A and B are shown apart, each in its own frame.
Chain A
Amino acid sequence: MRDGELVYLSLREAAERLRQRAVSPVELLDAALARTAAVEPRLRAYVTPMFDQARADARQAEQEIADGRYRGPLHGIPVALKDNYWTRGVVTAAGSKLFADFLPPEDGAVVARLRAAGAIVTGKTNMHELAIGGSTTNPHYGPTHNPWQPERIPGGSSGGSAAAVAAGLCYAATGTDTAGSIREPAAYCGLVGLKPTYGRVSIRGIVPLSWSLDHAGPLTRTVEDAALVLNAIAGYDPQDLTSANVPVPDYTARLGDGLRGLRLGVPRPYFYDQLDPEIAAAVETALGVLRDLGASVEEVRFPSAAWALALFPLISRPEAASFQEALLHTRPADYGDVRVQVELGEVILAKDYLRAQRLRTAMRQELEGLLAGVDALVTPATRTVAHPIGQPLTEVAGQPVTPSQLWVGLTMPFDLTGTPAISVPCRFAADGLPIGLQIAGRAWDESTVLRIAAAYERATPWHQQHPPL
Protein backbone atom coordinates (compact mmCIF):
# COMPACT_ATOMS: atom_id res chain seq x y z
CA MET A 1 0.00 0.00 0.00
CA ARG A 2 1.31 3.46 -0.92
CA ASP A 3 1.96 6.11 1.73
CA GLY A 4 -0.83 8.29 0.35
CA GLU A 5 -3.34 5.52 0.91
CA LEU A 6 -2.02 4.70 4.38
CA VAL A 7 -2.35 8.22 5.73
CA TYR A 8 -6.07 8.44 4.99
CA LEU A 9 -7.03 5.10 6.46
CA SER A 10 -9.33 5.57 9.41
CA LEU A 11 -7.79 4.87 12.79
CA ARG A 12 -9.87 1.67 12.93
CA GLU A 13 -8.65 0.55 9.49
CA ALA A 14 -5.03 1.31 10.38
CA ALA A 15 -5.43 -0.54 13.68
CA GLU A 16 -6.82 -3.59 11.90
CA ARG A 17 -3.82 -3.68 9.55
CA LEU A 18 -1.46 -3.32 12.50
CA ARG A 19 -3.20 -6.10 14.38
CA GLN A 20 -3.00 -8.38 11.35
CA ARG A 21 0.63 -7.30 10.82
CA ALA A 22 -0.24 -6.23 7.27
CA VAL A 23 1.53 -2.99 8.09
CA SER A 24 3.95 -2.16 10.90
CA PRO A 25 3.90 0.83 13.29
CA VAL A 26 7.15 2.03 11.73
CA GLU A 27 5.67 1.93 8.21
CA LEU A 28 2.55 3.72 9.41
CA LEU A 29 4.59 6.42 11.13
CA ASP A 30 6.93 6.78 8.14
CA ALA A 31 3.92 7.41 5.92
CA ALA A 32 2.56 10.01 8.33
CA LEU A 33 5.95 11.74 8.57
CA ALA A 34 6.41 11.73 4.78
CA ARG A 35 3.00 13.35 4.49
CA THR A 36 4.00 15.84 7.17
CA ALA A 37 7.21 16.75 5.35
CA ALA A 38 5.23 17.36 2.18
CA VAL A 39 2.42 19.54 3.55
CA GLU A 40 3.44 20.93 6.94
CA PRO A 41 5.20 24.00 5.47
CA ARG A 42 1.78 25.07 4.15
CA LEU A 43 -0.08 24.26 7.38
CA ARG A 44 1.97 24.93 10.51
CA ALA A 45 -0.02 22.33 12.39
CA TYR A 46 2.85 21.47 14.74
CA VAL A 47 4.75 23.75 17.11
CA THR A 48 6.92 21.07 18.69
CA PRO A 49 7.43 17.95 16.56
CA MET A 50 8.45 14.83 18.48
CA PHE A 51 9.41 12.77 15.47
CA ASP A 52 12.60 11.18 16.87
CA GLN A 53 10.82 9.96 19.99
CA ALA A 54 7.91 8.84 17.81
CA ARG A 55 10.26 6.70 15.69
CA ALA A 56 11.68 5.07 18.79
CA ASP A 57 8.18 4.45 20.17
CA ALA A 58 7.05 3.01 16.83
CA ARG A 59 9.98 0.58 16.81
CA GLN A 60 9.05 -0.52 20.31
CA ALA A 61 5.40 -0.97 19.31
CA GLU A 62 6.50 -2.99 16.31
CA GLN A 63 8.49 -5.31 18.54
CA GLU A 64 5.64 -5.68 21.01
CA ILE A 65 3.13 -6.55 18.30
CA ALA A 66 5.58 -8.98 16.71
CA ASP A 67 5.95 -10.61 20.13
CA GLY A 68 2.20 -11.04 20.41
CA ARG A 69 1.78 -8.26 22.97
CA TYR A 70 -0.86 -6.28 21.04
CA ARG A 71 -2.44 -3.72 23.37
CA GLY A 72 -5.52 -2.77 21.36
CA PRO A 73 -6.70 -0.41 18.64
CA LEU A 74 -4.44 2.51 19.54
CA HIS A 75 -1.27 0.42 19.61
CA GLY A 76 1.14 1.83 17.03
CA ILE A 77 -1.23 4.63 15.93
CA PRO A 78 0.31 8.11 15.34
CA VAL A 79 -1.53 10.67 17.46
CA ALA A 80 -0.86 14.41 17.93
CA LEU A 81 -1.40 16.43 21.11
CA LYS A 82 -2.62 19.97 21.51
CA ASP A 83 0.14 22.08 23.03
CA ASN A 84 -1.67 22.54 26.34
CA TYR A 85 -1.38 18.80 27.19
CA TRP A 86 1.50 18.17 29.57
CA THR A 87 4.22 15.99 28.03
CA ARG A 88 7.07 14.96 30.27
CA GLY A 89 10.24 16.88 29.36
CA VAL A 90 8.72 18.33 26.17
CA VAL A 91 7.77 22.01 25.92
CA THR A 92 4.11 22.59 26.70
CA ALA A 93 3.55 26.25 25.86
CA ALA A 94 -0.24 26.40 25.49
CA GLY A 95 0.27 28.70 22.54
CA SER A 96 1.80 31.31 24.81
CA LYS A 97 5.15 33.01 25.24
CA LEU A 98 4.53 32.75 29.00
CA PHE A 99 5.05 28.98 28.93
CA ALA A 100 7.59 28.83 26.11
CA ASP A 101 10.14 27.17 28.42
CA PHE A 102 7.76 25.03 30.43
CA LEU A 103 8.90 21.40 30.59
CA PRO A 104 6.29 19.38 32.50
CA PRO A 105 7.66 16.96 35.09
CA GLU A 106 5.23 14.26 33.96
CA ASP A 107 2.70 13.38 31.30
CA GLY A 108 -0.84 14.59 31.89
CA ALA A 109 -3.55 12.03 32.59
CA VAL A 110 -4.82 11.81 29.00
CA VAL A 111 -1.31 11.58 27.59
CA ALA A 112 -0.45 8.81 30.03
CA ARG A 113 -3.58 6.89 29.04
CA LEU A 114 -2.85 7.29 25.34
CA ARG A 115 0.71 6.06 25.83
CA ALA A 116 -0.51 3.13 27.92
CA ALA A 117 -2.82 2.21 25.04
CA GLY A 118 0.22 2.18 22.75
CA ALA A 119 -0.39 5.40 20.82
CA ILE A 120 2.65 6.99 19.17
CA VAL A 121 2.83 10.70 20.00
CA THR A 122 4.01 12.63 16.93
CA GLY A 123 4.19 16.09 18.46
CA LYS A 124 2.51 19.12 19.95
CA THR A 125 0.10 21.08 17.81
CA ASN A 126 -0.41 24.81 17.47
CA MET A 127 -3.34 26.43 19.23
CA HIS A 128 -4.93 29.79 19.86
CA GLU A 129 -2.93 31.68 22.47
CA LEU A 130 -3.81 30.22 25.92
CA ALA A 131 -6.90 28.64 24.27
CA ILE A 132 -8.68 32.01 24.38
CA GLY A 133 -10.06 32.19 20.86
CA GLY A 134 -11.26 30.24 17.87
CA SER A 135 -8.88 30.98 15.01
CA THR A 136 -5.38 29.64 15.91
CA THR A 137 -3.94 32.82 14.42
CA ASN A 138 -1.24 32.72 17.04
CA PRO A 139 0.87 35.88 17.55
CA HIS A 140 3.86 33.96 18.90
CA TYR A 141 3.95 30.77 16.81
CA GLY A 142 2.26 31.93 13.61
CA PRO A 143 -1.11 31.04 12.15
CA THR A 144 -2.16 27.48 11.40
CA HIS A 145 -3.76 27.12 7.98
CA ASN A 146 -6.90 25.21 7.07
CA PRO A 147 -5.96 22.18 4.92
CA TRP A 148 -9.04 22.71 2.74
CA GLN A 149 -8.03 26.26 1.85
CA PRO A 150 -4.75 27.41 3.37
CA GLU A 151 -5.70 31.09 3.38
CA ARG A 152 -8.53 30.22 5.81
CA ILE A 153 -8.36 29.57 9.55
CA PRO A 154 -8.65 25.98 10.79
CA GLY A 155 -10.69 27.18 13.76
CA GLY A 156 -9.47 26.90 17.30
CA SER A 157 -8.37 26.88 19.83
CA SER A 158 -7.46 23.28 18.85
CA GLY A 159 -6.66 24.41 15.30
CA GLY A 160 -3.30 22.67 14.91
CA SER A 161 -4.82 19.38 16.00
CA ALA A 162 -7.66 19.77 13.50
CA ALA A 163 -5.30 20.68 10.65
CA ALA A 164 -3.04 17.71 11.47
CA VAL A 165 -5.86 15.16 11.40
CA ALA A 166 -7.59 16.63 8.33
CA ALA A 167 -4.33 16.72 6.37
CA GLY A 168 -3.42 13.12 7.16
CA LEU A 169 -0.47 13.88 9.46
CA CYS A 170 -1.87 11.58 12.15
CA TYR A 171 -4.97 9.47 12.84
CA ALA A 172 -6.31 11.37 15.80
CA ALA A 173 -5.41 14.35 17.92
CA THR A 174 -6.40 15.71 21.29
CA GLY A 175 -8.20 18.99 21.81
CA THR A 176 -9.67 20.96 24.66
CA ASP A 177 -13.10 22.53 24.59
CA THR A 178 -13.98 25.37 26.97
CA ALA A 179 -16.44 27.14 24.66
CA GLY A 180 -16.27 24.97 21.54
CA SER A 181 -12.56 24.55 20.83
CA ILE A 182 -12.90 20.92 19.74
CA ARG A 183 -16.17 21.13 17.80
CA GLU A 184 -15.57 24.43 15.98
CA PRO A 185 -12.22 23.40 14.42
CA ALA A 186 -13.71 19.98 13.67
CA ALA A 187 -16.53 21.71 11.76
CA TYR A 188 -14.16 24.06 9.92
CA CYS A 189 -11.81 21.21 8.92
CA GLY A 190 -14.37 18.50 8.02
CA LEU A 191 -13.68 16.30 11.05
CA VAL A 192 -15.41 14.61 13.94
CA GLY A 193 -14.85 16.48 17.21
CA LEU A 194 -16.21 15.13 20.48
CA LYS A 195 -16.59 17.04 23.74
CA PRO A 196 -17.44 14.44 26.40
CA THR A 197 -19.40 15.10 29.58
CA TYR A 198 -17.54 17.31 32.08
CA GLY A 199 -15.72 14.92 34.40
CA ARG A 200 -15.66 12.02 31.94
CA VAL A 201 -12.07 12.66 30.82
CA SER A 202 -9.48 13.86 33.30
CA ILE A 203 -8.13 17.38 32.79
CA ARG A 204 -5.20 16.81 35.15
CA GLY A 205 -2.05 17.80 33.31
CA ILE A 206 -3.70 20.20 30.90
CA VAL A 207 -2.77 23.89 31.16
CA PRO A 208 -6.06 25.32 32.43
CA LEU A 209 -8.05 28.08 30.88
CA SER A 210 -11.15 27.80 33.05
CA TRP A 211 -11.35 24.89 35.48
CA SER A 212 -15.11 24.64 35.62
CA LEU A 213 -15.51 24.73 31.84
CA ASP A 214 -12.45 22.92 30.42
CA HIS A 215 -13.13 19.59 28.69
CA ALA A 216 -10.68 17.23 26.97
CA GLY A 217 -11.59 15.14 23.92
CA PRO A 218 -10.58 13.80 20.51
CA LEU A 219 -10.57 15.07 16.93
CA THR A 220 -10.72 12.29 14.35
CA ARG A 221 -11.79 11.59 10.78
CA THR A 222 -14.62 9.19 11.69
CA VAL A 223 -17.10 8.72 14.50
CA GLU A 224 -15.82 5.23 15.26
CA ASP A 225 -12.31 6.65 15.64
CA ALA A 226 -13.60 9.19 18.17
CA ALA A 227 -15.23 6.33 20.09
CA LEU A 228 -11.97 4.38 20.07
CA VAL A 229 -10.00 7.31 21.44
CA LEU A 230 -12.65 8.01 24.07
CA ASN A 231 -12.44 4.37 25.14
CA ALA A 232 -8.77 4.95 25.86
CA ILE A 233 -8.95 8.30 27.64
CA ALA A 234 -12.24 8.17 29.58
CA GLY A 235 -12.40 7.17 33.20
CA TYR A 236 -12.13 8.28 36.78
CA ASP A 237 -8.95 9.98 37.88
CA PRO A 238 -8.78 10.26 41.67
CA GLN A 239 -6.06 12.91 41.33
CA ASP A 240 -8.41 15.22 39.44
CA LEU A 241 -11.09 16.87 41.60
CA THR A 242 -13.25 17.48 38.53
CA SER A 243 -13.17 13.81 37.50
CA ALA A 244 -16.31 11.76 38.08
CA ASN A 245 -16.43 8.14 39.20
CA VAL A 246 -19.01 7.03 36.64
CA PRO A 247 -18.91 3.66 34.81
CA VAL A 248 -17.34 3.86 31.33
CA PRO A 249 -19.01 1.76 28.63
CA ASP A 250 -17.44 0.53 25.40
CA TYR A 251 -18.21 3.51 23.17
CA THR A 252 -18.05 1.43 20.00
CA ALA A 253 -20.72 -1.02 21.19
CA ARG A 254 -23.80 0.87 20.00
CA LEU A 255 -22.43 2.63 16.93
CA GLY A 256 -24.36 0.33 14.61
CA ASP A 257 -27.71 0.50 16.40
CA GLY A 258 -29.30 2.97 13.98
CA LEU A 259 -31.83 5.66 14.75
CA ARG A 260 -35.17 3.86 14.80
CA GLY A 261 -37.04 4.82 17.95
CA LEU A 262 -34.85 7.81 18.77
CA ARG A 263 -36.36 11.28 19.24
CA LEU A 264 -34.29 14.24 18.14
CA GLY A 265 -35.00 17.84 19.17
CA VAL A 266 -34.43 20.85 16.93
CA PRO A 267 -34.04 23.99 19.09
CA ARG A 268 -34.61 26.58 16.37
CA PRO A 269 -34.68 29.77 18.45
CA TYR A 270 -31.06 30.84 19.05
CA PHE A 271 -29.33 27.88 17.35
CA TYR A 272 -30.91 28.45 13.92
CA ASP A 273 -31.42 32.23 14.16
CA GLN A 274 -28.37 33.76 12.52
CA LEU A 275 -26.85 31.37 10.01
CA ASP A 276 -25.13 31.69 6.69
CA PRO A 277 -27.71 30.40 4.17
CA GLU A 278 -25.43 27.53 3.10
CA ILE A 279 -25.14 26.35 6.71
CA ALA A 280 -28.91 26.58 7.16
CA ALA A 281 -29.52 24.55 4.00
CA ALA A 282 -26.93 21.91 4.91
CA VAL A 283 -28.42 21.37 8.35
CA GLU A 284 -31.99 21.16 7.01
CA THR A 285 -30.82 18.48 4.58
CA ALA A 286 -29.11 16.65 7.44
CA LEU A 287 -32.34 16.72 9.48
CA GLY A 288 -34.02 15.06 6.50
CA VAL A 289 -31.37 12.34 6.47
CA LEU A 290 -31.89 11.71 10.19
CA ARG A 291 -35.66 11.45 9.59
CA ASP A 292 -35.09 9.04 6.70
CA LEU A 293 -32.95 6.91 8.99
CA GLY A 294 -35.93 6.44 11.32
CA ALA A 295 -35.52 9.13 13.96
CA SER A 296 -38.46 11.31 14.89
CA VAL A 297 -37.45 14.94 14.59
CA GLU A 298 -39.38 17.54 16.55
CA GLU A 299 -39.15 21.21 17.35
CA VAL A 300 -38.08 22.04 20.91
CA ARG A 301 -37.09 25.15 22.85
CA PHE A 302 -33.93 25.75 24.89
CA PRO A 303 -34.35 29.46 25.74
CA SER A 304 -31.54 29.74 28.27
CA ALA A 305 -29.00 28.74 25.60
CA ALA A 306 -29.12 32.44 24.70
CA TRP A 307 -27.60 33.24 28.10
CA ALA A 308 -24.37 31.45 27.22
CA LEU A 309 -22.58 34.38 25.60
CA ALA A 310 -23.15 36.49 28.72
CA LEU A 311 -22.42 33.83 31.34
CA PHE A 312 -19.31 32.46 29.66
CA PRO A 313 -17.02 35.48 30.13
CA LEU A 314 -18.26 36.06 33.67
CA ILE A 315 -17.10 32.53 34.57
CA SER A 316 -14.14 31.86 32.30
CA ARG A 317 -12.35 35.21 32.67
CA PRO A 318 -12.10 35.23 36.49
CA GLU A 319 -10.98 31.59 36.43
CA ALA A 320 -8.34 32.42 33.80
CA ALA A 321 -7.23 35.49 35.78
CA SER A 322 -6.93 33.39 38.91
CA PHE A 323 -4.65 30.85 37.23
CA GLN A 324 -2.64 33.50 35.39
CA GLU A 325 -2.60 36.18 38.11
CA ALA A 326 1.14 36.19 38.74
CA LEU A 327 1.94 36.08 35.01
CA LEU A 328 -0.50 38.87 34.21
CA HIS A 329 1.10 41.12 36.81
CA THR A 330 4.74 40.31 36.12
CA ARG A 331 4.86 39.61 32.38
CA PRO A 332 2.04 41.57 30.72
CA ALA A 333 4.19 42.24 27.65
CA ASP A 334 4.42 38.52 26.94
CA TYR A 335 0.73 38.33 26.13
CA GLY A 336 -0.68 38.82 22.64
CA ASP A 337 -4.14 40.22 22.05
CA VAL A 338 -5.82 37.85 24.54
CA ARG A 339 -4.44 39.80 27.50
CA VAL A 340 -7.50 42.01 27.69
CA GLN A 341 -9.71 38.96 28.16
CA VAL A 342 -7.68 37.86 31.17
CA GLU A 343 -7.55 41.39 32.56
CA LEU A 344 -11.34 41.51 32.49
CA GLY A 345 -11.28 38.56 34.85
CA GLU A 346 -9.46 40.71 37.41
CA VAL A 347 -12.28 43.24 37.67
CA ILE A 348 -15.35 40.97 37.69
CA LEU A 349 -16.89 40.92 41.15
CA ALA A 350 -17.20 37.61 42.97
CA LYS A 351 -20.96 38.03 43.21
CA ASP A 352 -21.20 38.33 39.42
CA TYR A 353 -19.05 35.23 38.95
CA LEU A 354 -21.34 33.35 41.31
CA ARG A 355 -24.45 34.78 39.67
CA ALA A 356 -23.21 33.34 36.38
CA GLN A 357 -22.47 29.99 38.01
CA ARG A 358 -25.97 29.91 39.52
CA LEU A 359 -27.58 30.81 36.21
CA ARG A 360 -25.48 28.07 34.67
CA THR A 361 -27.23 25.64 37.00
CA ALA A 362 -30.54 26.89 35.63
CA MET A 363 -29.29 26.24 32.07
CA ARG A 364 -28.33 22.70 32.99
CA GLN A 365 -31.67 22.06 34.65
CA GLU A 366 -33.56 23.39 31.65
CA LEU A 367 -31.56 21.18 29.29
CA GLU A 368 -32.04 18.20 31.56
CA GLY A 369 -35.82 18.70 31.40
CA LEU A 370 -35.68 19.09 27.65
CA LEU A 371 -33.64 15.92 27.22
CA ALA A 372 -36.18 13.97 29.26
CA GLY A 373 -38.42 14.29 26.21
CA VAL A 374 -35.91 13.82 23.40
CA ASP A 375 -32.73 11.76 23.14
CA ALA A 376 -30.53 14.51 21.71
CA LEU A 377 -30.54 17.96 20.14
CA VAL A 378 -29.40 18.63 16.58
CA THR A 379 -28.01 22.04 15.60
CA PRO A 380 -25.41 23.58 13.31
CA ALA A 381 -21.93 23.54 14.87
CA THR A 382 -21.04 27.00 13.55
CA ARG A 383 -22.83 29.91 11.88
CA THR A 384 -20.49 30.05 8.86
CA VAL A 385 -17.61 28.17 7.26
CA ALA A 386 -14.01 29.09 8.12
CA HIS A 387 -13.15 32.72 7.41
CA PRO A 388 -9.92 34.08 5.90
CA ILE A 389 -6.97 34.32 8.30
CA GLY A 390 -6.95 37.67 10.07
CA GLN A 391 -10.39 38.64 8.81
CA PRO A 392 -13.10 37.36 11.15
CA LEU A 393 -16.56 38.12 9.82
CA THR A 394 -18.31 40.96 11.59
CA GLU A 395 -21.73 40.23 10.17
CA VAL A 396 -23.73 37.08 9.47
CA ALA A 397 -27.15 36.99 7.83
CA GLY A 398 -27.28 40.76 7.89
CA GLN A 399 -26.66 41.09 11.64
CA PRO A 400 -23.46 41.94 13.52
CA VAL A 401 -21.46 39.20 15.26
CA THR A 402 -18.64 39.28 17.76
CA PRO A 403 -15.78 36.78 17.32
CA SER A 404 -17.25 34.67 20.15
CA GLN A 405 -20.67 34.54 18.52
CA LEU A 406 -19.06 33.71 15.21
CA TRP A 407 -16.71 30.98 16.39
CA VAL A 408 -18.38 29.32 19.35
CA GLY A 409 -21.81 30.85 19.85
CA LEU A 410 -23.54 27.57 19.03
CA THR A 411 -21.18 25.24 20.88
CA MET A 412 -20.73 27.23 24.10
CA PRO A 413 -24.11 26.35 25.70
CA PHE A 414 -23.04 22.72 26.07
CA ASP A 415 -19.79 23.66 27.81
CA LEU A 416 -21.85 25.56 30.35
CA THR A 417 -24.20 22.58 30.80
CA GLY A 418 -21.23 20.18 30.82
CA THR A 419 -23.13 17.75 28.60
CA PRO A 420 -21.65 15.78 25.67
CA ALA A 421 -21.73 17.16 22.14
CA ILE A 422 -20.14 16.21 18.85
CA SER A 423 -19.59 17.84 15.48
CA VAL A 424 -19.70 15.69 12.34
CA PRO A 425 -19.17 16.80 8.73
CA CYS A 426 -22.50 17.49 7.01
CA ARG A 427 -21.71 18.98 3.62
CA PHE A 428 -19.30 21.27 1.78
CA ALA A 429 -20.16 24.85 0.93
CA ALA A 430 -19.93 26.03 -2.67
CA ASP A 431 -16.40 27.28 -2.01
CA GLY A 432 -15.32 23.79 -0.91
CA LEU A 433 -15.16 24.44 2.83
CA PRO A 434 -16.66 21.92 5.27
CA ILE A 435 -19.78 22.41 7.38
CA GLY A 436 -20.40 20.74 10.76
CA LEU A 437 -23.53 19.31 12.34
CA GLN A 438 -23.71 19.36 16.14
CA ILE A 439 -25.44 16.58 18.11
CA ALA A 440 -25.80 17.19 21.86
CA GLY A 441 -26.98 14.60 24.33
CA ARG A 442 -27.66 13.81 27.97
CA ALA A 443 -24.97 13.89 30.63
CA TRP A 444 -22.86 10.71 30.62
CA ASP A 445 -24.62 9.47 27.47
CA GLU A 446 -21.83 9.90 24.93
CA SER A 447 -22.91 6.53 23.53
CA THR A 448 -26.18 7.92 22.14
CA VAL A 449 -24.45 11.00 20.74
CA LEU A 450 -21.91 8.75 18.99
CA ARG A 451 -24.66 6.37 17.82
CA ILE A 452 -26.59 9.20 16.13
CA ALA A 453 -23.42 10.63 14.61
CA ALA A 454 -22.36 7.21 13.33
CA ALA A 455 -25.73 6.57 11.69
CA TYR A 456 -25.58 9.94 9.98
CA GLU A 457 -22.00 9.33 8.88
CA ARG A 458 -22.85 5.91 7.37
CA ALA A 459 -25.63 7.51 5.32
CA THR A 460 -23.52 10.37 3.93
CA PRO A 461 -20.23 10.67 2.01
CA TRP A 462 -18.71 13.76 3.64
CA HIS A 463 -16.17 11.99 5.84
CA GLN A 464 -14.69 10.22 2.81
CA GLN A 465 -13.42 13.44 1.25
CA HIS A 466 -9.96 14.78 1.95
CA PRO A 467 -8.33 18.18 1.45
CA PRO A 468 -6.74 18.82 -1.96
CA LEU A 469 -3.29 19.51 -0.53
Chain B
Amino acid sequence: MASTPEGTPFAIPAELLVELGRYAGLELSADYAARVAPLLAGPLGFARALHPADYDDLVPATVYRVPEA
Protein backbone atom coordinates (compact mmCIF):
# COMPACT_ATOMS: atom_id res chain seq x y z
CA MET B 1 0.00 0.00 0.00
CA ALA B 2 1.26 3.48 -0.88
CA SER B 3 1.19 6.38 1.54
CA THR B 4 0.90 10.16 1.43
CA PRO B 5 3.78 12.50 2.42
CA GLU B 6 2.32 12.46 5.95
CA GLY B 7 2.32 8.67 5.99
CA THR B 8 -1.43 8.19 5.59
CA PRO B 9 -2.12 4.94 3.72
CA PHE B 10 -3.59 5.41 0.26
CA ALA B 11 -4.76 2.60 -1.97
CA ILE B 12 -6.71 2.16 -5.18
CA PRO B 13 -8.89 -0.97 -5.17
CA ALA B 14 -8.24 -3.23 -8.15
CA GLU B 15 -11.98 -3.31 -8.91
CA LEU B 16 -11.98 0.48 -9.27
CA LEU B 17 -9.09 0.29 -11.73
CA VAL B 18 -10.94 -2.36 -13.72
CA GLU B 19 -13.98 -0.05 -13.88
CA LEU B 20 -11.90 2.98 -14.84
CA GLY B 21 -10.24 0.90 -17.53
CA ARG B 22 -13.61 -0.17 -18.86
CA TYR B 23 -14.74 3.49 -18.89
CA ALA B 24 -11.61 4.27 -20.95
CA GLY B 25 -12.26 1.35 -23.30
CA LEU B 26 -9.48 -0.77 -21.83
CA GLU B 27 -10.06 -4.31 -20.61
CA LEU B 28 -7.96 -4.94 -17.49
CA SER B 29 -8.14 -8.27 -15.71
CA ALA B 30 -8.63 -8.17 -11.95
CA ASP B 31 -5.23 -9.81 -11.38
CA TYR B 32 -3.49 -7.33 -13.63
CA ALA B 33 -5.30 -4.39 -12.02
CA ALA B 34 -4.23 -5.60 -8.59
CA ARG B 35 -0.61 -5.66 -9.73
CA VAL B 36 -0.59 -2.20 -11.30
CA ALA B 37 -2.81 -0.35 -8.81
CA PRO B 38 0.11 0.43 -6.48
CA LEU B 39 2.00 2.06 -9.37
CA LEU B 40 -0.77 4.63 -9.55
CA ALA B 41 -1.64 4.81 -5.86
CA GLY B 42 1.84 5.99 -4.86
CA PRO B 43 2.00 9.14 -7.01
CA LEU B 44 -1.71 9.85 -6.65
CA GLY B 45 -1.73 9.58 -2.86
CA PHE B 46 1.32 11.81 -2.66
CA ALA B 47 0.03 14.48 -5.04
CA ARG B 48 -3.50 14.62 -3.58
CA ALA B 49 -2.04 15.24 -0.15
CA LEU B 50 0.04 18.24 -1.27
CA HIS B 51 -1.61 21.54 -0.39
CA PRO B 52 0.84 24.41 -0.82
CA ALA B 53 -0.38 27.69 0.65
CA ASP B 54 -0.91 29.31 -2.73
CA TYR B 55 -2.60 26.33 -4.38
CA ASP B 56 -5.72 28.29 -5.31
CA ASP B 57 -3.58 30.72 -7.29
CA LEU B 58 -1.66 28.09 -9.23
CA VAL B 59 -2.35 27.85 -12.95
CA PRO B 60 -1.59 24.55 -14.71
CA ALA B 61 1.87 24.51 -16.29
CA THR B 62 0.21 23.75 -19.63
CA VAL B 63 -1.89 26.63 -20.86
CA TYR B 64 -2.93 27.44 -24.37
CA ARG B 65 -0.80 30.10 -25.99
CA VAL B 66 -1.92 31.92 -29.11
CA PRO B 67 0.94 31.80 -31.61
CA GLU B 68 2.51 35.10 -32.55
CA ALA B 69 1.32 36.51 -35.83
Do A and B assemble together?
Answer: yes
Chain A residues engaging chain B, CB cutoff 8 angstroms:
211-212, 238, 241, 245, 304, 307, 309-314, 328-329, 340, 343-344, 346-348, 352, 354-362, 364, 416, 418
Q: In the bound complex, do residue B39 and residue A340 qualify as a contact, i.e. CB atoms below 8 Å apart?
A: yes
A131, chain B: closest CB distance, angstroms: 18
A424, chain B: closest CB distance, angstroms: 28
The verdict on A359 contacting B40 (CB below 8 Å), with A238-B68, A347-B20, A347-B21 known, is no
Chain B residues engaging chain A, CB cutoff 8 angstroms:
17, 20-21, 24-26, 28, 36, 39-40, 42-44, 46-48, 50, 52, 54-55, 58-62, 65, 67-68
Q: In the bound complex, do residue A241 and residue B58 qualify as a contact, i.e. CB atoms below 8 Å apart?
A: no
Counting chain B CB atoms within 10 Å of each CB, the highest count among A304, A343, A355 belongs to A343
In the complex, which residue of chain A has the Cβ closest to the Cβ of B35? Answer: A340
Counting chain A CB atoms within 10 Å of each CB, the highest count among B21, B44, B55, B59 belongs to B44
Chain A residues within an 8 Å CB radius of B24: 346-347
Q: Roughly how many angstroms separate A442 CA and B39 CA in the complex, as a whole number?
A: 32
The verdict on A361 contacting B61 (CB below 8 Å), with A309-B43, A346-B26 known, is yes
Q: Roughly how many angstroms separate A417 CA and B68 CA in the complex, as a whole number?
A: 23
Chain A residues within an 8 Å CB radius of B58: 358-359, 361-362
A251, chain B: closest CB distance, angstroms: 24
Chain B residues within an 8 Å CB radius of A347: 17, 20-21, 24, 26, 40
A269, chain B: closest CB distance, angstroms: 14
Q: In the bound complex, do residue A361 and residue B21 qualify as a contact, i.e. CB atoms below 8 Å apart?
A: no
B21, chain A: closest CB distance, angstroms: 6
Q: In the bound complex, do residue A357 and residue B62 qualify as a contact, i.e. CB atoms below 8 Å apart?
A: yes
Q: In the bound complex, do residue A344 and residue B40 qualify as a contact, i.e. CB atoms below 8 Å apart?
A: yes
B68, chain A: closest CB distance, angstroms: 6
Q: In the bound complex, do residue B48 and residue A340 qualify as a contact, i.e. CB atoms below 8 Å apart?
A: no
The dominant DSSP class at the A interface is helix
The verdict on A352 contacting B67 (CB below 8 Å), with A347-B20, A360-B61 known, is no
Q: In the bound complex, do residue A352 and residue B21 qualify as a contact, i.e. CB atoms below 8 Å apart?
A: no
A182, chain B: closest CB distance, angstroms: 20
Chain B residues within an 8 Å CB radius of A354: 60
The verdict on A355 contacting B47 (CB below 8 Å), with A238-B68, A245-B68, A347-B20 known, is yes
Q: In the bound complex, do residue B50 and residue A357 qualify as a contact, i.e. CB atoms below 8 Å apart?
A: no
B2, chain A: closest CB distance, angstroms: 10
A128, chain B: closest CB distance, angstroms: 17
The verdict on A313 contacting B43 (CB below 8 Å), with A358-B58, A359-B52, A361-B58 known, is yes
Q: In the bound complex, do residue A212 and residue B43 qualify as a contact, i.e. CB atoms below 8 Å apart?
A: no
Question: B60: which of A238, A328, A348, A358 is its contact (CB, 8 Å)?
Answer: A358
Question: B28: which of A238, A314, A343 is its contact (CB, 8 Å)?
Answer: A343
Q: Roughly how many angstroms separate A329 CA and B21 CA in the complex, as a whole number?
A: 11
Q: Roughly how many angstroms separate A313 CA and B42 CA in the complex, as a whole number?
A: 10
Q: Which 4 A-B pairs have the closest CB atoms?
A: A357-B60, A310-B46, A347-B20, A358-B58
Chain B residues within an 8 Å CB radius of A340: 36, 39
In the complex, which residue of chain B has the Cβ closest to the Cβ of A366? Answer: B52
Chain B residues within an 8 Å CB radius of A416: 61
Chain B residues within an 8 Å CB radius of A307: 46-47, 50
Chain B residues within an 8 Å CB radius of A362: 52, 54-55, 58
Counting chain A CB atoms within 10 Å of each CB, the highest count among B28, B36, B43 belongs to B43
Q: Roughly how many angstroms separate A238 CA and B66 CA in the complex, as a whole number?
A: 11
The verdict on A352 contacting B36 (CB below 8 Å), with A241-B67, A347-B21 known, is no
